Structure 1
């Protein structure tokens, strides 16, 4: 009984976690969806922009498309490395 009282008085571990009347933790999926929706929209817009860039470069020549795709991995590695460094510095 003491553990149940302690569980009911302690704050939830996750922002979307809610306690029901019995003190059991449940995930509020609406809160998760509201949090994830802008991130999903951002990813969708970024994909459309990348596709548009590739289409425009593809209209120039196949060599230009090959050049763009060959530098992609270098740019991706730089973004991942710098993103990791920035997260390490912030924490």
Structure 2
């Protein structure tokens, strides 16, 4: 089920966004597992289902950007950066 949802997210939002969404869900579930119990000593969620992606090694591969700001573009970049930061 987790792998199927990952495939859907990858198709609709792209690999990086799918990974980001599932990492967020993984953190949320880890928090819930640590915080909440059904009964004394028994966790409400037995296992984080997102861990299956790591065990089966099916996380999307993150592709790094390979673009750089060229020297002649730096002055415009500094202007945009300064105005966006309000300085």
The structure showing larger relative contact order (alpha-carbon pairs under 8 Å, at least 6 residues apart) is: 2
Structure with bigger helix share is: 1
Q: TM-score, normalised by structure 2?
A: 0.35
Of structures 1 and 2, the larger Rg is shown by: 1
- TM-score normalised to structure 1 length: 0.34
